[in-house]
Amino acid sequence: MNDRASALNTDGRSRVRLLPWKGPEGKPAHLITDDAHSPLSLLADRIENQQVNNAAVIVELARPMVGEEAKLTADELRWIAGRLIESLTEVLNVAESRAQRLPGYEEPGE
C-alpha cells in the first residue's frame, strides 16, 4: 500500500473537519479532505495539541489566584476569568472536532 492510500480514511471518502481557528469573518473554519496526514490536517493537529497544553498551564496558574487566600482586585479576577473562558472555548472546539472524527460505535451483536 502506498503512503497516500494509508493516509486515506478507511472508506476513502472525504471528511469535513472543524479546524482550531476561525475563518475571516469569525465563523468556524472547516477542512474537507480524504487525507488525515495532509499538511493542513497536521498543522491543525499541532495547534489543537498546543491549545490543550496551554489550557492546562492556564488552569494551573489560575488555581492559586482564585483560592480562598488570594487577594485579587475585581479587574484582576475578570482578567483571569477571561483567559480561562478563552482556553475553555478552544478546548471545547478541539473536543467537538475530535468527536466528529471518531468512528461510529455499534454495540456488539448489532
The answer to the question of residue 37 being in a domain is yes
> Do the domain assignments include residue 21?
yes
Q: How many domains does the chain have?
A: 1
Establish if 61 belongs to a structural domain: yes
pLDDT of 71-102, one tens digit each?
A: 999 999 999 999 999 999 999 999 999 988 88
* 18 has a pLDDT exceeding 80: yes
pLDDT of the residue at 86: 95
Residue percentage of the chain with pLDDT more than 90: 61
Mean pLDDT of 11-24: 84
Whether 3 shows a pLDDT value over 70: the answer reads: no
Whether the CB-CB separation of 40 and 79 falls below 8 Å is answered with no
The H-assigned helical ranges of 29-106 are 39-62, 74-101
Whether 19 is covered by a domain: the verdict is yes
Domain that holds residue 62: 3-101
Cell of 104: 461510529
Provide the 8-state DSSP code for 109. Answer: T
| Nearby residues of 4 by Cβ (< 8 Å), 6 or more positions away | 35
Domain-located, residue 109: no
- pLDDT, mean over the chain: 85
Compute the average pLDDT of residues 28-48: 93
- For residue 17, tell me if it sits in a domain: yes
